Structure 1
């Protein structure tokens, strides 16, 4: 047998040992890299990669050489398990959901939609742009589970904000049993002690989670990723990489070329500029967007999903959201605060008047920025003024600008100190009074609060005053900001999400407004200051108002108020942001669609402009068409989104029970290494030394110590309850893990069962009461891979033979049903002569399986693939022609200098490179010229 027909799941022999192929990568020169797991004694359980251009002694097991051995296990248990395990361990080629719904989450159609949509694409790559709090991590987990089942998720890298690395890692492990090695600063320090200095951690660990800033800022890591490739890369909060010119954006563009599948997630996937959204889509599919930059919904619609809470009609899903309550705490400004704001407003008026006379806008912006700082707290404003004073004192010469005037700065300083000295901070007084009215004193029994402020000085000010006024212990109040290290950020967030946490108030900068879950034991959030961006406000509120919140979320706003005409307009403008956010929450669901800017910084500029013009209606006058709001997508309605599982067993638990019992009877597992509770579908597995070594890349917090127990269950509710219980105590991970085929421990024992049948052997089962007389039924697995080495056809079928001709060929599911193999079977004696006769007929069976059955399957699928290839090639040619034409237009009016010529040639070369790579990829993806790999698993006969 030629090596071209080697496929995942096949056995090979090389270097005197036996291996099971788990993945294949075809090199440009036609040679192959074979990822394998050792199955013979010296290499058992270890992973290897063989290069067929170097390891020239690799031999594939030829199915014609298969010898049949009698299955002597009671009820032919071994044969049933061997067939079942092969079916479960095989890759699947399907555009439906095959396994993810067995994971520990409450299945809902809207969460399946991203994966179903991605599976329609040649390369499953998608932007998940669902609104705040809808569970994008779960949606990413569903996709990963499905790709792992398809053999396309062995190597995974997740990029996430440094604050949520642990949160994301736990979610994927607890719910999907997908292990990610966390490469935060502690994780990096740990692997430095475990790996040689020159060892690439991305080669050693197949599945990792890391901050994009770690990759961006660490030259050594950049070197590592340049030498690595992944099956899947997930980039969470991908709006942070939308700017292709930034370091983050450049890195993301690079990584998009280093993986087969790409998942981008963000509730704010664009900044209102078509080119920024195009950058994200181009990472997913380089030929989706015309080079002109003018694209339509039809161009990009296949590559993203975007839904909001109001789009979800599933009542069971909506039950996991609570209707929030808005509490507006009106705060009457003190006379001292009015004095400060009157001075600030007078400066603004003077600056605006000077602006009309042609002066710089700097003074207007200075007065507004001081107003913004003051709206956070008098202490934040004082901090800004005193920092500026220090700088001005060091200047050799002063300008006429407000920010350089010592007199103006000192007047600000004096007025602000007056407020603080007289304890005339009305907002803090209202905040303190509100806490007291709610019966809050910072004790362990009291409710928890999240308090957001954009200014670090305000957070420090609040911390000092709350400790003093309420007699708080340092453990009961914590502060979270972007200046904290990744480990500190994760520790704070994890602690606040635990029932045993001492933290009663978490003070957060807007670094905590994205991605982090703060809703587990907290349903009260205070916007101590109001961000001048609806997007930021929506993100803040979404920390506690999100999927899975069990109590009514209370959102508090501290609203400054005065009747002073010169001041109240600006206060009204800021308050309008909170009113509009609430309107959007109840209707559109997307705060970014209000200003049509889709960028928090641009929205702040819009608010500043409203303050300059005293425009209280600035949120009502926007009439431009929002091209991206028109791109919102509803859920994909699919009549049959699930792939039906072929199985010999009544249920999964019965299979796992029989699997372990069989391994025990074969002396491959000790009786003391596992315990089964059939009533509760619960399984305990000892983490033996052997298993512990195999699972070296599991999260250490989730892995039991050697000889301690994995607790696995099929009861989703029990796992989800365990996840809830783990939130009660700091450092705990879920006690129970989901029991299904993707759990690494189960996967290991399934592979061990496969390896228990020696190479070039298959099991024989004699059934005189169920099968027609003088017939033999050969159970085969046929697999065909494309030129990328990806299995495209994976067919389990049975060929019936009567000694002289083929009777019929039928799917294994039909064979199981027809001859009732899922019921009890009774062992019968088999003679060596009978087994030899079965072997002698094998050439006819293999010839039929290869040249008739699989050939027919290949021809049917190849015709479909050919049509797709023609469609993709036509689309590619249109994109190329339009792109070349656009380049010509771009340079038409330019003088033909050497620099211009180089730029034009570079752009043309880039287009040709994209077309060449895409064309070759589609050919490799859709061509099925490889010889079918046939594996003989068993034979059922009656002579």
Structure 2
């Protein structure tokens, strides 16, 4: 007989009992990941191979031993049944558990998960606009997949600056523990694990920077040998180029997991191929031709919404209307003199160029290369100066230094030592004599706002592109406002991951000494800067609307409690030529304001979808002195409306009447269940009296050596400070959210309260303890006088799994039997039985004679046969029919995809001589196509093929006589 192993089953091996956490087919046999529940192996984890462990036994339901429940109110039976329901791997397209987590529920946040459930494999790209809460949407997905038994092993890839922020958010709101593999975490692993131990096997749930994986050869080796249930790639636009190291690593990881979540507010750079790479990671068969595909091809695989698309007033109230403050700085005479020289270089270069050189070939080498170098040098000098004189000085001095190694100099300004030294001298004079108008205006604005950098003053974030600008700002602010080092934080990409995380964590705490964060655009993505800050200065204006939107989104985002003030430092001058250049740069500010007020997405303005491409556009506008280039869409290469629809419009709302499933429970509410659970474990001596108790809505569970050992992979910040202290789990999500807010008051603190629901690791531990309190092969019996006389109702759990070992049907139903033998009615849903006989109400323990148990035991085999014949076999047949229909549709999709790929191959190589390099390319492409085809075909066959007979388990018996 083909044994049907599925997660949630209880098995016996080597005279000990285990619960299966994961089951993977292996050449006709099974690899089982299990957790011990009998005394000797309790809470320990093991991996069994049925090829080696041939004595593994699944409970035969006909041999179940029936035992009378003598507890008051049949508490143990109710708890055991409740545990089976809460632990079962459900198969539902509704939200079933995430609504209990600690966030303000809004339907738009549920859509990514609900949409993913419509796919064969739950995979999705979350492309919501800046500040809409993508991390919460990821948490919803993770919690729902864990509930379904498909989220045991998780890896999150995120920017190194936000590893701690992401880890903390997912723990505080969803009680999902991620082990942080930053440089400190990796050092800890090296000290704790043997050198040959794969950390991804030891830790089920991890968060790591993709650059750490990319740059660590040993980690890449581990990845090759590991599979995950879920991989999350945050800021996925960084991996869209499959030819880059990041991109190729992401492509590999997409084949190493069942579910995949990609997130980015800017998921595209305007290149069809790159976006196709992201979609193909989600579903390799989605796109037949990477250069010719429609929105219809990709719509099932992504969601995209902007603030303007959210009509929930509760959500809108968590955004504040921003205020724009423009601070004009009239350049000094010395600055005008310097920039007049810069303009002279620019216009001299332009005189030697024609329109085509500037508008079509500015960055190329087709003609007048030296003249174009002078033009680009002049524009680069302008860009550095409008950041700061110090940034321009650094650029000039670096060029002078490079000239020392050049003996054969070209006739270009950037290699003219006399010109460079003249420019250097002018800059030194401006800096030494404090003739920098923009800084003066910045300082005066701070004075006007009564900001002195003291503890009582509000915090400010200052963005600037150049490191030299940030250094100069630090020095000048310290001099002018008498500031200590501890008041100013410097944030940029060259900091280590630990330094970046420490600064972001510190700046977001109420007790932080920081009053000002000076940051490069490394701080423009992902980081939360809005908790105690609502003033941001764009000290310079980036030449990209995408970057500008990301900057502003650091304080103008969901959860901001005050009006966000976005300050722009704007240089002004009446100098001929310079006035026009400053106007062009300042137009970017105006465009971003327009986007904010109407369109909702900065990338939709120029349709270039990449910051560097937008910077090139601004450079062309400055080179040609043509502000009109910034007035309309600039991507003329797009010949269809795919990207307009993809980025300008929100994805259609899902039409789901009841997105959240109704709970099935024997208890009036969650508190009643958890109170009963704690009392039962104390009664059975699995808990000591002082190890767990309720205080109002708070469950306090003492940290013991055993609990600490079992929860070894919890973040240290999430655990009680010392042995004997308590975990505090709350049923009130408002309490938890307040606790999250309170934790921001003190550096190093995480939320004091955590959400009390069935996914919390402490709750999982308690539920496993209860499971262990009922002996193997045992079902408890209740006698209820509210039931019909001489009738027994056998509660059966039926599980159907596919060839991947996934539970795709978990059904709780009752089989009504005459106590003397024979079927009394058709099997029906346990929920209906529970409602019909009011099992949620108080139950009274009745005496259960031994002869009653014997009678029930006699009719048990027939009951199991009826359960098979009249219910589970029929349910399996219906499910098989549905699966066969899905398989037929998928096979047709496979066929069409394969045909399309073959046609593309024929066209691509039709006019080429098939020799050498071309032959190798052709073979590689054929191999890639066949690999995707075979893997997809086999996966879907396993997904839709039911594995053996349904597994039946007798959960409890209810009778009256």
- C-alpha contact (below 8 Å) 1:140/1:263 kept by paired residues: yes
Question: Secondary structure in 1 aligned to 2:903?
Answer: helix
Conservation of the 8 A alpha-carbon contact between 1:292 and 1:886: no
Q: CA deviation at 1:833?
A: 2.1
User: In the alignment, which residue of structure 2 is the partner of 1:25?
Assistant: 24
Structure-to-structure mapping, 1:71-110, within 5 angstroms? 71-110=69-108
Equivalent residue, structure 1, for 2:658: 640
Separation in 2, partners of 1:102, 1:129: 24
1:686 deviation in Å?
0.5
The structural deviation recorded for 1:905 is: 2.5
Structure 2 distance, partners of 1:203, 1:133, is 34
What's 1:9 paired with? 8
Query: 2:102·2:173 contact (CA, 8 Å) conserved in 1?
Result: yes
Q: Does 1:841 align with 2:849?
A: no
Q: Confirm or deny that 1:305 pairs with 2:296.
A: no
Whether the aligned pair in 2 keeps the contact of 1:31 and 1:52 (CA below 8 Å) is: yes
Match of 1:466 in 2: 477
Greater alpha carbon shift after TM alignment, 14-23 vs 94-103: 14-23
Q: CA deviation at 1:929?
A: 4.1
- Matching residue of 1:798: 814
Q: Distance in 1 between matches of 2:935 and 2:221?
A: 24
**Secondary structure, counterpart of 2:3 in structure 1:** helix
- Taking the TM superposition and a 5 Å limit, the aligned residue runs for 1:287-436 are 287-291=285-289, 293-356=291-354, 358-360=367-369, 361-436=372-447
- Is 2:37–2:771's contact at 8 Å kept on the other side of the alignment? no
Matching of residues 750-899 of structure 1 within 5 Å: 750-767=767-784, 769-802=785-818, 803-808=820-825, 809-899=827-917
C-alpha separation between the residues in 2 aligned to 1:883 and 1:264?
25
CA distance in 2, matches of 1:797, 1:688: 38
Q: Which residue of 1 aligns with 2:584?
A: 573
Q: Residue 292 of structure 1: CA displacement? A: 5.0
* Pair 1:908 & 2:926 matched: yes
Decide whether the 8 Å contact of 2:793 with 2:815 is kept in 1.
Answer: yes
Deviates more, 1:524-533 or 1:390-399: 390-399
Distance 2:612 2:164 in 1: 28
Per the TM alignment, residue 316 of structure 1 is displaced from its structure 2 partner at its CA by: 0.7
SS in 2 for 1:806: coil
Q: Is the 8 A contact 1:775 1:801 kept in 2?
A: yes
Matched, 1:583 2:594: yes
For 1:348-389, what per-residue CA distance to the aligned partner results, in whole angstroms no more than 9, with x for missing partners? 111112234942121111111111111110000001110111
* CA distances 1:901-931 after superposition (whole Å, capped 9, x unpaired): 2322221221121111111111111112421
Which of the numbers 609, 633, 653 marks the counterpart of 2:671?
653
Matches of 2:661 and 2:756, distance apart in 1: 19
SS at match of 1:4: coil
- Structure 2 equivalent of residue 711 of structure 1: 728
Question: For 1:881-913, what per-residue CA distance to the aligned partner results, in whole angstroms no more than 9, with x for missing partners?
Answer: 011011100111112223322322221221121
What CA RMSD, in Å, does the superposition of the two structures yield over aligned residues? 1.1
Residue 591 of structure 1: CA displacement? 0.3
Q: Deviations over 1:79-133 (max 9, x none)?
A: 0000001100111001110000100001001100100000000000000000000
Provide the C-alpha distance between the structure 1 equivalents of 2:290 and 2:88, rounded to a whole number of angstroms. 44
State the Cα distance separating 1:627 from its structure 2 match: 2.6
The alignment partner of 1:902 has SS state of helix
Equivalent position of 1:47 in the other structure: 45
Q: Secondary structure at the match of 1:462?
A: helix
Q: Quick one: distance in 2 between partners of 1:634 and 1:471?
A: 54
1:686 matched to which residue of 2?
702
In the alignment, the residues of structure 1 paired with residue 698 and residue 404 of structure 2 have an alpha-carbon distance, to the nearest angstrom, of: 72
Aligned equivalent of 1:741, options 751, 758, 771: 758
1: CA distance between counterparts of 2:314 and 2:425? 57
Where 1:617 maps in the other structure, the secondary structure is helix
Assess if the C-alpha contact under 8 Å between 1:525 and 1:544 holds in 2: yes
Deviates most, 793-802 or 9-18: 9-18
Aligned-partner SS, 1:547: coil
User: Helix, strand or coil for the counterpart of 1:293?
Assistant: coil
* Per-residue deviation, 1:852: 2.5
Q: Which secondary structure does the structure 2 equivalent of 1:859 belong to?
A: helix
Q: Aligned partners of 2:342, 2:916: CA distance in 1, in Å?
A: 55
Q: Distance in 1 between matches of 2:879 and 2:425?
A: 80
Tell me the residue number matched to 1:921.
939
Tell me how far apart the structure 1 counterparts of residues 821 and 847 of structure 2 sit (CA, whole Å): 24
Residues 281 and 444 of structure 1, relative CA distance in 2, 3 Å threshold: same
Structure-to-structure mapping, 1:450-489, within 5 angstroms:
450-489=461-500
Q: Using the alignment, how far apart are the partners of 1:291 and 1:325 within structure 2?
A: 45
Q: Deviations over 1:737-792 (max 9, x none)?
A: 0000000000111111112110011101112x211111111111100100110000
Whether contact under 8 Å (2:272, 2:290) holds in the other structure is no
1:292 and 1:883 in contact (8 A); partners too: no
CA contact (8 A) 1:781 1:937 kept: yes
What is the distance in 2 between the residues matched to 1:473 and 1:836?
82
Counterpart CA distance in 1 for 2:404 and 2:190 is: 48
Partner of 2:362: none
TM-fit CA distance, 1:821? 1.2
- Assess if the C-alpha contact under 8 Å between 2:606 and 2:632 holds in 1: no
Q: Does 1:541 align with 2:552?
A: yes
Q: Distance in 1 between matches of 2:541 and 2:926?
A: 48
Instruction: Give per-residue Cα distances to partners, 1:655-708, cap 9 Å, x unaligned.
Output: 00100100000111111001212xx32111111111111111101011113211
Structure 1 gaps, min length 5: none
Matching residue of 1:550: 561
Mapped to 2, the partners of 1:807 and 1:915 lie a distance apart of 51
Q: State how far apart, in whole Å, the 2-side matches of 1:827 and 1:564 are.
A: 94
Residue equivalent to 2:260: 262
What is the CA–CA distance in structure 2 between the aligned matches of 1:634 and 1:497, rounded to whole Å? 35
SS of structure 2 residue aligned to 1:587: helix
Q: Does the aligned pair in 2 maintain the 1:307–1:634 contact within 8 Å? A: no
Task: Please state how far the C-alpha of 1:394 moved relative to its aligned partner.
Answer: 2.1
Are 2:689 and 1:671 equivalent residues in the alignment? yes
Counterpart contact for 1:594–1:619, Cα < 8 Å: no
- Structure 2 length normalisation: TM-score? 0.97
User: Counterparts of 1:552 and 1:892 in 2: how far apart (Å)?
Assistant: 62
Q: What is the alpha-carbon distance in structure 1 between the residues aligned to residue 835 and residue 341 of structure 2?
A: 87
Partners in 1 of 2:547 and 2:419 — Cα distance?
32
Write out the 4+ residue segments of structure 1 that deviate beyond 6 Å after TM superposition. none
**Paired residue secondary structure (2:690):** helix
In the TM superposition, residue 315 of structure 1 has moved relative to its aligned partner by 0.8
Corresponding residue of 2:361? none
Quick check: 424-433 or 852-861, which moved more? 852-861
In the alignment, structure 1 residue 222 sits paired with structure 2 residue 220: yes
Structure 2 distance, partners of 1:899, 1:336, is 60
More off after superposition, 902-911 vs 426-435: 902-911
From 628, 643, 653, the counterpart of 1:628: 643
**Residue equivalent to 2:193:** 195
Q: Is the 1:97–1:643 contact (alpha carbons within 8 Å) kept by the matching residues of 2?
A: yes
Residue 293 of structure 1 and its aligned partner are, at CA, apart by 2.3
2:678–2:693: 8 Å Cα contact kept in structure 1? Answer: no
Aligned to 1:514: 525
Alignment partners' CA distance in 1, 2:414 and 2:16: 77
Q: Is the 1:185–1:486 contact (alpha carbons within 8 Å) kept by the matching residues of 2? A: yes
Q: Please list, as runs of the form range in 1=range in 2, the aligned pairs for 1:107-118 lying within 5 A after superposition.
A: 107-118=105-116
1:700 matched to which residue of 2? 716
Q: Unpaired segments of 5 or more residues in structure 2?
A: 358-366
Conserved 8 A contact 1:97-1:116: yes
Distance 1:900 1:848 in 2: 64
